[in-house]
A and B are shown apart, each in its own frame.
Chain A
Amino acid sequence: MSFVQNFPFFSIIIAMFSGIISSVLDAKKARNLSLAAIMVTTGMSAAVLVFCLRTGESYTYMMGHFPAPWGNEIRAGVLEGLTAFFFGVVMLLSVVGGLDHTAKDVEKTKQNLFFIMIDLMLSSLLALIYTNDLFTAYVFVEINTIAGCGLIMIRQIGRSLLAAIRYMIMSQLGSGLFLIGLSLLYDVTGHLLMSPAKEAVAGIEAAGIYALPMLVIVAVISVGLAIKSGLYPFHSWIPDTYGYATPTASAILSGLVSKGYIFLLIKIFYRVLGRENVVASQIVNVLFMFGLAGMMLGSVHAIMQKDTRRMIAYSSVAQIGYIYMGIGLGTTAGMVAAVFHIFTHSATKALLFISAVGLYEVSDDKKDFRSLRGAGYRNPLAGIGFSVGSLSMVGFPMLAGFISKLLFATSALQSPHKMLPTVIALAISTILNAVYFLRLVITLYSIPEKGLEKPLDNGSKEKPPIHSSWKLRLAVLSFILLNLFLGLYSQPIVGAIENGLAMFA
């Protein structure tokens, strides 16, 4: 056994341990520890990815002295390594980009608690990615939920407390359904580890027994995780949550947390329930319909928003719809497109949230369209970042969003019954995306209105013009590069995703 194979376990434990230690550190040390932990785990995930690519196979790692059906286990393959690495990069950049705002929004004595949440969030995301055990997945879903709540409410203003309560209720509903699904599954299979459970499921399907419980299990697990990731009819917690949390929390929650649940869902589909069984159960069609509805109605809601942060949040609803549409196609190509869109969306949405903060900084922290007029001139880099993010979301060539839309469209061609709705919905949704994103981009680069220019000018004459900190600029720049990388160098990544999904089966 090579030493690299220990890395998934090390990265989970390092993230958790840094969270535990942070409880006695002051804000600055907790911050440095947290950044170091994220960097180390990202490096380890990269090593795991390279290792799995080189050996060409996945491996399981025993957590303790007991082999598979008795003890806990984690599993690493190409897709796990790639996702963990990517999530680590996005998390690092989001934390770095929002550092100054975190320091401003969070009470000084509670900042170490903020970094505890970040550390434990990281560890739970890693565990959700690497897990090979259904109950371990549930435990870390719990940690993820509580850490998410903490990240939202740590801002301690009325609206974010309200958002946290809403998030908690919806998220707990999702966890509850997920747990019910797991208990039913345990009852009919007798296993919690994924690989033996899959064998048991195959036996059940072959024998043709427990048809109704299996259907309910698939439905309850899918809906539970869909609620937690904010699929369209269950999206009501999204706008408040992303709109009123601190920038780092918004970027992490929208970019990573909801994606972690989707990744878990894909993993359960492949590794436990079996993709063919899920497709046969018609649940994917329900997810497909919800996804289509989300793509369009999420965008319509986004057009109606006044507050630009809420607009970006509603755009997340639409993008989650895309991902579920890909899963709902039921084909391998659709799944590849969905996984690629997970990466696209986490890179782009985090870029949008972080660069939007740079724009608010130069507009008196106002978030409506009027105040943002001309903000692209006042903070050029953030303006460029926001434009790149918007164009990527709309699907401009060379950027990440284009590739994922292309993948969705080509994968739709392979499933004859769903081709037309998919392509039409993609077209409509792209136009709607363009309406609200390009409108904001045009606003950013239009000259401020006469009436509004004065108060802004008076304000800025008294104090020197505000410059964003180097951290924010670094994060925005890196995110732009990440987007370009995903857009220009997509083929190896798509290949790795296909490779990884093949290892899942």
Chain B
Amino acid sequence: MSRIRDNYENSRCLKIKKWIDGEVDLLASGVEIEAPEEAKEAALPESDLPNPAWQPGMRRPKAAKRRRRNRDGRDIRYFRRIYQLMSVFLCLAIIFILLWTVSYLPAFGNAGNPDNNEVSARYIESGLQETGAVNIVTGMILDYRAFDTFGESCVLFIASCCVLVLLRIDAADGDARARKRLREADDRVFEPKNDVILQRCACVMVPLIMVFGIYIILNGHLSPGGGFSGGAVLGSGLILYLNAFGFKETERFFTEKVYRRVTLSALTFYCLAKSYSFFTGANHLHSGIPLGTPGAILSSGLILPLNICVGLVVACTMYAFYTLFRKGGM
């Protein structure tokens, strides 16, 4: 009898009936499953007494519970193992399928490939006349496909905004907890480190790195390089300087205000300049931006200023990431 009753009480049917009647909250399952167990254990001796055949059943609920717990633990272990095996299997399957696909693709560097079409032909043949950039890659990303590159610099911008959301600690409103967090995150107390080897090396290296970065940015349209790579070099130079001499030195010229102004003006210039260029291009107007002599430093229209903008954004973003990770503020 009691087993039938147990089965009935554990059945979905009764739970749904109770739920519809509003007696129990099916959704508060954590409480609901425990409570009847306790109640049953208390009730069992009396209810089972009339039926001596069920006497051994008195211990059953506990044993069942233990059994269930053991089984749950085992289930979870099995589940984890199967899960791991399945994930490895899935990854291998995807790797296999992709490799199999690649074997069907056209061979790399073959002259008859689909990507050797009129698009790349025009980039290579008339890129120099149309964009004025000796470096075809720069001409492609900053003139033919400048909208994508604008999107990419906005990706950097929004990524640094996200890091600001996550890591900047603002103690401005006098919140004691925020101030404590700031104190914990701030490692400026260990400064200045005055590491002589580092400082001497930095004295030699930082100017070279900076000049090299500026060179890469300014010659982006003439030789390999451009805003993204040059900006990364500049940013690493700034980080090296910061590590050698500490925040006190860098804050003389690079604070959060400077960061904001530089990023804002670079992106604004990019946005306005490119909007003008898109607008004139789409409406078939004459843009009036001179292309200059190819090969000269002041040539290729908007590409040089845009490279400078991208370089500044990248350098600032790298430096900002570093400072935010170190002390939760700039």
Interface residues of A (CB under 8 A from B): 1, 6, 9, 13, 16-17, 19-21, 23-24, 61-66, 69-72, 107-110, 113, 116-117, 120, 123, 127, 133, 135-136, 139-140, 142-143, 146-147, 149-150, 153-154, 156, 180, 184, 186-191, 200, 210, 212-213, 216, 304-306, 368-370
Given known A-B contacts A64-B146, A113-B165, A213 and B27 have beta carbons under 8 A apart: no
Q: Is B49 an interface residue (CB 8 A)?
A: no
Q: In the complex, A135 Cα to B119 Cα: how many Å?
A: 15
Q: For chain B residues 255-294, which have a beta carbon within 8 Å of chain A?
A: 260-261, 263-264, 267-268, 271, 275, 277-284, 287
Given known A-B contacts A6-B282, A143-B155, A187 and B148 have beta carbons under 8 A apart: no
Given known A-B contacts A64-B278, A149-B162, A200 and B145 have beta carbons under 8 A apart: no
With a cutoff of 8 Å between Cβ atoms, the chain B residues found around residue A156 in the complex are 165
With a cutoff of 8 Å between Cβ atoms, the chain A residues found around residue B97 in the complex are 216
Q: Are A213 and B162 in contact (CB under 8 A)?
A: no
Given known A-B contacts A110-B170, A150-B161, A63 and B261 have beta carbons under 8 A apart: no
Q: Are B113 and A306 in contact (CB under 8 A)?
A: no
Provide a sorted-by-A list of 10 A–B residue pairs whose CB atoms are within 8 angstroms: A63-B278, A65-B143, A66-B130, A70-B123, A109-B168, A109-B173, A117-B161, A143-B158, A154-B165, A213-B101
Q: For chain B residues 215-231, which have a beta carbon within 8 Å of chain A?
A: none
Name A1's closest neighbour in chain B (CB-CB).
B283
Q: In the complex, A135 Cα to B146 Cα: how many Å?
A: 12
Q: In the complex, A116 Cα to B157 Cα: how many Å?
A: 10
**Choice from A19, A153, A189 contacting B114 with Cβ under 8 Å:** A189
Q: For chain B residues 160-175, which have a beta carbon within 8 Å of chain A?
A: 161-162, 164-166, 168, 170, 172-173
With a cutoff of 8 Å between Cβ atoms, the chain A residues found around residue B161 in the complex are 23, 113, 116-117, 150
Q: Are B158 and A116 in contact (CB under 8 A)?
A: yes
With a cutoff of 8 Å between Cβ atoms, the chain B residues found around residue A66 in the complex are 130, 143-144, 281
Given known A-B contacts A16-B271, A70-B144, A140-B151, A188 and B106 have beta carbons under 8 A apart: yes
Chain B, residues 132-144, CB within 8 Å of chain A (1/0): the string is: 0000000000011
Chain B nearest Cβ from A367, distance in angstroms: 12
Q: Is B51 an interface residue (CB 8 A)?
A: no
**How many residues from B make CB contacts under 8 Å with A?**
62
Q: Are A136 and B148 in contact (CB under 8 A)?
A: yes
Chain B nearest Cβ from A303, distance in angstroms: 8
Q: In the complex, A141 Cα to B64 Cα: how many Å?
A: 52
Going nearest first, the 5 A-B pairs with the smallest beta carbon separation are A139-B151, A190-B114, A190-B115, A65-B281, A109-B170
**Choice from A65, A117, A123, A190 contacting B117 with Cβ under 8 Å:** A190
Q: Are A187 and B279 in contact (CB under 8 A)?
A: no
Q: Which of B98, B151, B155, B275 has the most CB of A within 10 A?
A: B151
Given known A-B contacts A64-B147, A370-B25, A200 and B281 have beta carbons under 8 A apart: no
Q: Are B115 and A213 in contact (CB under 8 A)?
A: no
Chain A nearest Cβ from B251, distance in angstroms: 19
Q: Are B261 and A24 in contact (CB under 8 A)?
A: yes
Q: Are A188 and B277 in contact (CB under 8 A)?
A: no
Q: Are B28 and A306 in contact (CB under 8 A)?
A: yes
With a cutoff of 8 Å between Cβ atoms, the chain A residues found around residue B38 in the complex are none
**Choice from B28, B118, B145 contacting A72 with Cβ under 8 Å:** B145
Q: Looking at chain A's contact residues, is the secondary structure mostly helix, strand, loop, or mixed?
A: helix
Given known A-B contacts A6-B282, A116-B161, A136-B151, A70 and B122 have beta carbons under 8 A apart: yes
Q: Are A69 and B118 in contact (CB under 8 A)?
A: yes
With a cutoff of 8 Å between Cβ atoms, the chain A residues found around residue B115 in the complex are 186-187, 190
With a cutoff of 8 Å between Cβ atoms, the chain B residues found around residue A154 in the complex are 165
Q: In the complex, A65 Cα to B166 Cα: how many Å?
A: 40
Q: In the complex, A20 Cα to B154 Cα: how many Å?
A: 8
Q: Is B190 an interface residue (CB 8 A)?
A: no
Q: Are B98 and A9 in contact (CB under 8 A)?
A: no
With a cutoff of 8 Å between Cβ atoms, the chain A residues found around residue B284 in the complex are 1
Chain A nearest Cβ from B20, distance in angstroms: 9
Q: Is B105 an interface residue (CB 8 A)?
A: yes
Q: For chain B residues 98-127, which have a beta carbon within 8 Å of chain A?
A: 98, 100-101, 104-106, 113-120, 122-123
With a cutoff of 8 Å between Cβ atoms, the chain A residues found around residue B158 in the complex are 19, 116-117, 120, 143, 146-147, 150
Further contacts, 7 of them, CB under 8 A, given A1-B283, A21-B268, A66-B281: A62-B281, A63-B146, A63-B147, A64-B143, A64-B277, A72-B147, A108-B170
With a cutoff of 8 Å between Cβ atoms, the chain B residues found around residue A149 in the complex are 162
Q: Is B296 an interface residue (CB 8 A)?
A: no
With a cutoff of 8 Å between Cβ atoms, the chain A residues found around residue B159 in the complex are 146
Q: Are A21 and B264 in contact (CB under 8 A)?
A: yes
Q: Which of A20, A113, A189 has the most CB of B within 10 A?
A: A20
Chain A nearest Cβ from B265, distance in angstroms: 10
With a cutoff of 8 Å between Cβ atoms, the chain A residues found around residue B75 in the complex are none
Q: Are B27 and A369 in contact (CB under 8 A)?
A: yes
Given known A-B contacts A20-B157, A63-B281, A116-B161, A191 and B119 have beta carbons under 8 A apart: yes
Q: Are A110 and B168 in contact (CB under 8 A)?
A: yes
Chain B nearest Cβ from A397, distance in angstroms: 26
With a cutoff of 8 Å between Cβ atoms, the chain B residues found around residue A146 in the complex are 155, 158-159, 162
Q: Are A143 and B154 in contact (CB under 8 A)?
A: yes
Q: Are B173 and A108 in contact (CB under 8 A)?
A: yes
Q: Are A113 and B164 in contact (CB under 8 A)?
A: yes
Q: In the complex, A72 Cα to B277 Cα: how many Å?
A: 13
Q: Are A107 and B264 in contact (CB under 8 A)?
A: no
Q: Is B41 an interface residue (CB 8 A)?
A: no
Given known A-B contacts A9-B282, A62-B281, A17 and B268 have beta carbons under 8 A apart: yes
Q: In the complex, A147 Cα to B105 Cα: how many Å?
A: 35
Q: Is B152 an interface residue (CB 8 A)?
A: yes
Q: In the complex, A193 Cα to B209 Cα: how many Å?
A: 39
Q: Are A63 and B170 in contact (CB under 8 A)?
A: no
Name B122's closest neighbour in chain A (CB-CB).
A70
Q: Are A65 and B277 in contact (CB under 8 A)?
A: yes
Q: Are B114 and A188 in contact (CB under 8 A)?
A: yes
Q: Are A23 and B281 in contact (CB under 8 A)?
A: no
Chain B, residues 52-75, CB within 8 Å of chain A (1/0): the string is: 000000000000000000000000
Name A149's closest neighbour in chain B (CB-CB).
B162
Q: Are B261 and A64 in contact (CB under 8 A)?
A: no
Name A72's closest neighbour in chain B (CB-CB).
B147
Q: In the complex, A109 Cα to B256 Cα: how many Å?
A: 14
Given known A-B contacts A20-B264, A24-B261, A212 and B100 have beta carbons under 8 A apart: yes
Name A110's closest neighbour in chain B (CB-CB).
B165
Chain A nearest Cβ from B98, distance in angstroms: 7
With a cutoff of 8 Å between Cβ atoms, the chain A residues found around residue B157 in the complex are 19-20, 23
Name B140's closest neighbour in chain A (CB-CB).
A70
Q: Are A70 and B119 in contact (CB under 8 A)?
A: yes
Q: In the complex, A64 Cα to B145 Cα: how many Å?
A: 8
